[in-house]
């Protein structure tokens, strides 16, 4: 299952048409969670606030994170048992109890 923010990001890829994304998700049995519960927003806010506090305490040497990253991480934490990502370090600090799957691209 993916949250709606992931679906939006997939559709935003310059080579990913709506038909391609929808066909891939259907073929792999991946569902899209279009429902946004209060608990998702609260967990997103918690992680984002902690990040913002850390960021204010530094000179900003790390890349700036987008709100969508926190929404995706919170959704995976609350609605799934793991998150597949190409950037596990991005999620490990803010969602330390979330199981991360890192699939290398070849």
CB burial of 37-46 (b: ≥16 within 10 Å; e: otherwise) equals eeebeebbee
pLDDT of residue 61: 61
Q: Region 19-26: what's the mean pLDDT?
A: 96
Q: What residue ranges do the domains of the chain occupy? A: 2-102
* pLDDT digit string, tens, across residues 60-101: 666 677 888 989 999 999 988 899 988 888 899 889 999 999
Instruction: Supply the pTM of this predicted model.
Output: 0.67
* Sequence-separated (6 or more) residues with CB below 8 Å from residue 102: 84, 85, 86, 88
* Cα end-to-end distance, the chain, whole Å: 24
Top-confidence residue, 42 or 103: 42
pLDDT in tens, 41-52: 999 999 999 988
């Amino acid at each position: 299952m993916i949250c709606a923010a992931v679906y939006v990001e997939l559709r935003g890829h310059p080579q990913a048409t709506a038909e391609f994304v929808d066909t891939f998700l259907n073929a792999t049995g991946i569902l899209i969670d279009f429902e946004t519960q209060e608990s998702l927003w609260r967990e997103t806010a918690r992680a984002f606030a902690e990040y913002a506090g850390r960021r204010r305490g530094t000179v900003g040497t790390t890349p700036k994170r987008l709100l969508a990253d926190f929404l995706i991480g919170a959704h995976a934490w609350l609605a799934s048992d793991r998150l597949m990502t190409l950037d596990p370090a991005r999620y490990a600090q803010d969602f330390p109890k979330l199981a991360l799957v890192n699939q290398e691209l070849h």
